[in-house]
Amino acid sequence: MNEKVDLTLTVNGQRHAIRVEPRKTLVDAIRDDCGQTGTHAGCEHGVCGACTILLDGEPVRSCLMFAIQCEGRDIRTVEGLANGNELHPLQQSFIDHHALQCGFCTPGFLMLAAGVLRKRPDIGDEELIDLLSSNLCRCTGYANIIKAVKAVRDGLAQA
């Protein structure tokens, strides 16, 4: 059961050949075995959303998945959001709107919002807040996070 298995994870387009126990969660594999510590674990039971990543374009909670389920799939984490030195519009908007304080929840919110806006660039306010309420932040009181995401949505609508 605890025999390690070989697998390859593709994180932000980079292939990582790793050797992990079948029970290793995706978040632990991304962090410990692929060395990408931008994805955080805040609860490890699927409630806080700090571990949100994009799996084949869909926001998922990486604490609820096993690494072996993700071989061959496209894993995107916060480290892959920026284009070189150019920040992703959501990253810039989070800075501009003071949408982070401690920053622990931020990668999860960024990936959640990136996933949502990619599929629904014209999502309405109410639905957006509803979706954002699936992640927890203990510092900001959310208003600035909502504003930051809305601003990017509105920018997309104009573009």
Q: Which residues bind another protein (CB under 8 A)?
A: 2, 21, 23-24, 31, 36-45, 47-48, 50, 77-79, 81-82, 87, 91, 94-96, 98, 100-107, 110, 129-130, 132-146
Closest contact distance (angstroms) between CB of 103 and another protein is: 3
By the rule CB under 6 A, 61 interacts with ligand FES: yes
Could you tell me which stretch among 7-15, 44-52, 79-87, 117-125 binds ligand FES (CB under 6 A)?
44-52
- In the list 46, 57, 141, 155, the residue contacting ligand FES (rule: CB under 6 A) is 46
Tokens 């401690």 found at: 102
Residue list 71-110, contact with ligand FES (CB under 6 A): 100-105
CB-count exposure of residue 22 (10 Å: 0-12, 13-18, 19+)? middle
By the rule CB under 6 A, 59 interacts with ligand FES: no
Beta strands 74-76 and 5-11: pairing type?
parallel
By the rule CB under 6 A, 63 interacts with ligand FES: yes
Q: Which residues, at least 6 apart from 130, have a Cβ–Cβ distance to it below 8 Å? A: none
The type of residue at 73 is: R
Q: Which does 132 bind (CB under 5 to 8 A by kind): ligand FES, another protein, none?
A: another protein
**Distance (Å, whole) CA 151 – CA 102:** 21
Q: Which residues, at least 6 apart from 127, have a Cβ–Cβ distance to it below 8 Å? A: 120
By the rule CB under 6 A, 137 interacts with ligand FES: yes
Q: What is the CA radius of gyration of the chain?
A: 16
**Distance (Å, whole) CA 109 – CA 52:** 7
By the rule CB under 6 A, 142 interacts with ligand FES: no
Q: Which does 61 bind (CB under 5 to 8 A by kind): another protein, ligand FES, none?
A: ligand FES
